[in-house]
């Protein structure tokens, strides 16, 4: 583990002695094994540094020694909360590099199921974010809805969390028999549930005072750091990969992108809530227009992309998940590089936290929506 250096950036109040607090890796609200070293003046954060790597598994290296078809299940383990989106970026990169034409039905199903994954991920974010700020009941309410989505995943993919949802060229299975019924039932109930969360949180004065003006990051700073996803849109930057570089069936569905104004925790909260509503809209549209036909493209016996490199990215729940792939023409990739949204979003932590209290650090880690599996890879 590398030595964490903390520079004193700010004069302390009245020469009071500073305290270095080691938050994590075993801490209930660092969302995994993130270690944050805080320099505190009283409870005010003067400086902080993140120490990561406790969950490093060498995913990119593993990928160099696996065949193209075998890598998708590993990609589920990057951001295990959004396994479906992560799997999608891998298979789409390979497909586009090979120039495979994926049948439209597979594209639509991919759209529906990745949007479900977005809702599931945002629900888990809402649950843990609310828990960090102390609204414990919302945790279980949000997980209850997530359970419905996970049941759909289980029926469709055969697993709940790390689904191994996609195969290069399409999907392993067509939609199961009651798929449409389950989706519609979820879509019917979900807006009412969202309203319930809003009743407890959105207007609550304690919630407002804990989130408004906390962890402010301006649009220019957000772009400079390279934030993406809801964290970027909370600052008011109109950037959504689904819109700017439509993949799967996103070119055929109509949806709005929520944009915040101030770039504080409350804005990001509202953006994510609205994204869940928009996801539901996308799901219903895609379900309405779901074409018939096969779900698998015709695949060569061994998947071998042509020599060259390729970058493809999709809009994951946490931001832009990218995959850079270098192929040397064999059945195994030469080099794979992931653009991890959580890792890049985490870089904003210091800028957001300095000057706030310890309690706000927890809220800000929550609002960045990081997953350590993806940061450490």
Residues 219-258, interacting with other proteins (CB under 8 A): 219-220, 223, 236-240, 243-246, 250-251, 254-258
Of 153, 133, 131, 137, nearest to 81 by C-alpha is 153
CA distance 277 to 246: 19
CA distance 286 to 180: 11
Under the binding rule (CB under 8 A), the answer on residue 180 touching other proteins is no
CA distance 369 to 267: 14
- Least separation in angstroms between residue 176's CB and other proteins is 7
Question: Considering beta carbons, is residue 302 or 307 the nearer one to other proteins?
Answer: 302
Under the binding rule (CB under 8 A), the answer on residue 322 touching other proteins is no
Of all helices (H) and strands (E), which one includes residue 312?
Answer: strand 308-315
| Backbone angles phi and psi of 254, in degrees to 5 | -110, 125
- Least separation in angstroms between residue 96's CB and other proteins is 16
Burial environment of residue 164 by CB neighbours within 10 A (0 to 12, 13 to 18, 19 or more): middle
Under the binding rule (CB under 8 A), the answer on residue 335 touching other proteins is no
∠ CA 211-344-55, nearest 5°, is 100
Under the binding rule (CB under 8 A), the answer on residue 199 touching other proteins is yes
Residues 28-87 that bind other proteins (CB under 8 A): 28-29, 43, 66-67, 69-74, 77
Whether residue 4 contacts residue 38, with contact meaning beta carbons closer than 8 Å, is answered with: no
- Least separation in angstroms between residue 201's CB and other proteins is 7
| Rg over CA atoms, the chain | 21
- Candidates 118-126, 140-148, 307-315, 317-325: pick the segment binding other proteins (CB under 8 A): 140-148
Under the binding rule (CB under 8 A), the answer on residue 294 touching other proteins is no
Q: Which of 8, 9, 137, 289 binds other proteins (CB under 8 A)?
A: 137
Under the binding rule (CB under 8 A), the answer on residue 303 touching other proteins is no
Question: Considering beta carbons, is residue 59 or 371 the nearer one to other proteins?
Answer: 59
Q: Which of 81, 97, 249, 271 binds other proteins (CB under 8 A)?
A: 271
Question: Considering beta carbons, is residue 278 or 327 the nearer one to other proteins?
Answer: 278
Residue with tokens 């034409």: 101
Of 66, 114, 60, nearest to 92 by C-alpha is 114
Q: Which of 4, 6, 159, 297 binds other proteins (CB under 8 A)?
A: 159
């Amino acid at each position: 583990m590398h030595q964490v250096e903390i520079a004193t950036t700010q004069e302390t109040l009245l020469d009071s002695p500073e305290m270095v607090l080691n938050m994590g890796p075993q801490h209930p609200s660092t969302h995994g094994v993130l270690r944050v070293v805080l320099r505190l003046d009283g409870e005010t954060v003067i400086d902080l540094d993140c120490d990561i790597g406790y969950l490093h598994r060498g995913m990119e290296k593993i990928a160099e020694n696996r065949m193209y078809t075998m890598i998708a299940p590993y990609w589920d383990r990057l951001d295990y909360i959004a396994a479906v989106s992560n799997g999608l970026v891998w298979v789409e990169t390979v497909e586009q590099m090979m120039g495979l034409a994926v049948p439209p039905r597979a594209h639509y199903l991919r759209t529906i199921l990745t949007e479900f994954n977005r809702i599931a991920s945002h629900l888990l974010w809402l649950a843990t974010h609310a828990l960090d700020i102390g609204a414990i009941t919302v945790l279980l309410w949000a997980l209850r809805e997530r359970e419905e989505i996970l049941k759909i995943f289980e029926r469709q993919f055969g697993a709940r969390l790390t689904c191994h949802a996609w195969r290069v060229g399409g999907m392993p299975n067509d939609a199961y028999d009651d798929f449409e019924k389950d989706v519609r039932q979820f879509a019917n109930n979900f807006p009412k549930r969202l309203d319930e969360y809003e009743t407890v949180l959105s207007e609550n004065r304690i919630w407002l005072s804990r989130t408004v003006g906390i962890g402010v990051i301006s649009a220019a700073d957000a772009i400079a750091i390279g934030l993406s996803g809801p964290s970027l849109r909370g600052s008011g930057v109109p950037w959504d990969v689904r819109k700017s570089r439509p993949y799967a069936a996103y070119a055929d569905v109509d949806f709005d992108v929520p944009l915040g104004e101030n770039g504080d925790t409350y804005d990001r909260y509202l953006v994510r809530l609205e994204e869940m509503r928009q996801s539901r809209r996308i799901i219903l549209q895609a379900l309405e227009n779901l074409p018939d036909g096969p779900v698998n493209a015709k695949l060569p016996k061994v998947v071998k992309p042509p020599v060259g490199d390729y970058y493809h990215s999709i809009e994951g729940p946490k931001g832009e998940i990218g995959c850079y792939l270098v192929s040397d023409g064999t059945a195994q990739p030469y080099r794979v590089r992931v653009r991890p949204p959580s890792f890049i979003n985490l870089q904003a932590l210091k800028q957001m936290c300095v000057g706030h209290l310890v309690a706000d650090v927890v809220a800000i880690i929550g609002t960045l929506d990081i997953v350590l599996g993806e940061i450490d890879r």
